[in-house]
């Protein structure tokens, strides 16, 4: 996998991950068109014939163990997407398996939220953790901006930890460790920075990368806030990117935060980053009373 990633870097491979809906529309458009390049193979997850890539490229894919095939048609089981100048491996489209590792527009919005926080606070971070790290994008951004910090990437999904370790090494970041943990239950100590981009949808299959649980998908985000209140060092911050269901104009997640945090020794800022994401989900019965799903960012800082 590392050799394959390094090859993609050497040929200046770049790909911006899109929403599943946009991805589906693009694939329908390309059904009768031939595979043109590695972006089709590793970005758009298109099936391909062996003669549509070079001999060396096909051999790298085989050695990396990423190929599946049906007859003479092959397909990569992983994707590679760009995060700034880095490449991140994650699950192929469609991400429908229970242990899928997601990377998409939410990742880019999460990245901007982290970068905005670190622009003013990178010097104060000595120990950090990315909860539910997935591809490791959050941990990588923190480690890159805070090279002297000890950064931990945790997830309950072994496949996510594998992807995060590969992406970390490919980026040349030596200050990240991965560990399997449900939230922070299996790691010790306090943190100067906790970052998290948890799943926030209501998923009927309850897939770990997608299902937020609780009321309209907010359950995991609420649990992360609870964990942060217990494990932030004085002056430390939680940077949480998540999605919330808006019902009759009300952001119930924010209302719950306001009620809960009033008595806590902390300050917090909350912003609506994108007013309308995953609109196709509103067609599902679980969202019958929801008017929109918004992407939001929370920065919670514990008092010193």
**CA nearest to 138, candidates 120, 163, 113, 159:** 113
Q: pLDDT digit string (tens) for 200-247?
A: 998 877 777 788 899 899 999 999 999 999 999 999 999 999 999 999
Per mean pLDDT, which range of 76-85, 201-210, 243-252 is the poorest? 201-210
**What is the distance between the alpha carbons of residues 182 and 168, in angstroms, rounded to a whole number?**
21
Q: What percentage of the chain exceeds 90 in pLDDT?
A: 93
Q: What is the pLDDT of residue 204?
A: 79
Q: Can you give the C-alpha Rg of the chain in angstroms?
A: 20
Q: What DSSP letter does each residue of 13-69 carry, written as one string?
A: -------HHHHHHHHHHTTTS---SHHHHHTS---EEGGGS-HHHHHHHHHHT-EEE
Q: Torsion-angle region of residue 143: left (phi > 0), alpha (psi -120 to 50) or beta? A: alpha
The whole-number average pLDDT for the span 64-79 is 95
Using an 8 Å Cβ cutoff, are 167 and 87 in contact?
yes
- Model confidence at 136, in pLDDT bands (50, 70, 90)? very high
pLDDT for the residue numbered 171:
98
Q: Position of tokens 């008595």? A: 263
The answer to whether residue 154 scores a pLDDT higher than 90 is yes
Q: What is the pTM of this model?
A: 0.96
pLDDT of residue 209: 76
Condensed to tens digits (0 to 9), the pLDDT of residues 21-59 reads 999 999 999 999 999 999 999 999 999 999 999 999 999
The pLDDT assigned to 203 comes to: 81
Complete domains list, the chain, with CATH:
2-91 (no CATH), 105-302 (3.40.50.150)
Cα distance between residue 280 and residue 257, in whole Å: 27
Q: E strand or H helix at 120, and its extent?
A: helix 105-121
Q: Is the predicted pLDDT of residue 123 greater than 90, yes or no?
A: yes
Average pLDDT, the chain: 96
- Place 98 in a pLDDT band, splitting at 50, 70 and 90: confident
Residue labelled with tokens 């649980």: 213
pLDDT band at 96 (very low <50, low <70, confident <90, very high): confident
The candidate with the shortest Cα–Cα distance to 217, out of 263, 267, 277, 258, is 277
| Lowest-confidence pick of 87-96, 107-116, 203-212, 225-234 | 203-212
Q: What is the C-alpha separation between 297 and 290, in angstroms, rounded?
A: 20
| pLDDT confidence of residue 302 | 97
pLDDT recorded at residue 10: 98
Which of 279-301 are b and which e, b meaning 16 or more Cβ less than 10 Å from the residue's Cβ?
A: eebbeeeebeebebbbbbbbbbb
pLDDT-based confidence at residue 106 (cuts at 50, 70, 90)? very high
């Amino acid at each position: 996998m590392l050799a394959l990633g390094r090859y993609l870097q050497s040929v200046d491979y770049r790909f911006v991950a899109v929403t599943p809906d946009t991805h589906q529309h693009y694939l329908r458009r390309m059904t009768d068109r031939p595979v043109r390049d590695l972006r089709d193979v590793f970005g758009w997850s298109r099936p391909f014939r062996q003669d549509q890539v070079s001999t060396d490229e096909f051999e790298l894919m085989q050695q990396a163990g990423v190929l599946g095939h049906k007859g003479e048609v092959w397909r990569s089981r992983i994707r590679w997407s760009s995060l700034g100048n880095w490449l991140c491996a994650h699950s192929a489209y469609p991400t429908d398996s229970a242990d899928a590792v997601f990377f998409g527009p939410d990742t880019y919005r999460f990245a901007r939220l982290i970068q905005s926080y670190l622009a003013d606070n990178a010097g104060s971070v000595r120990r950090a953790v990315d909860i539910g790290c997935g591809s490791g994008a959050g941990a990588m951004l923190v480690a890159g901006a805070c090279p002297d910090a000890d950064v931990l990437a945790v997830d309950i999904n072994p496949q996510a930890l594998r992807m995060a370790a590969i992406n970390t090494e490919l980026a040349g970041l030596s200050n990240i460790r991965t560990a399997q943990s449900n939230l922070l239950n299996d790691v010790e100590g306090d943190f100067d920075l906790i970052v998290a981009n948890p799943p926030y949808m209501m998923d009927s299959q309850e897939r770990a990368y997608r299902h937020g649980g609780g009321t309209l998908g907010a359950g995991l985000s609420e649990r992360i806030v609870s964990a942060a209140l217990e494990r932030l060092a004085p002056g430390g911050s939680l940077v949480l990117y998540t999605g919330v269901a808006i019902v009759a104009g009300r952001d119930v997640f924010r209302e719950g935060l306001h009620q809960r945090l009033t008595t806590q020794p902390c300050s917090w800022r909350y912003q609506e980053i994108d007013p309308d994401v995953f609109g196709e989900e509103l067609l599902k019965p679980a969202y019958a009373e929801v008017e929109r799903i918004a992407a939001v960012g929370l920065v919670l800082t514990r008092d010193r």
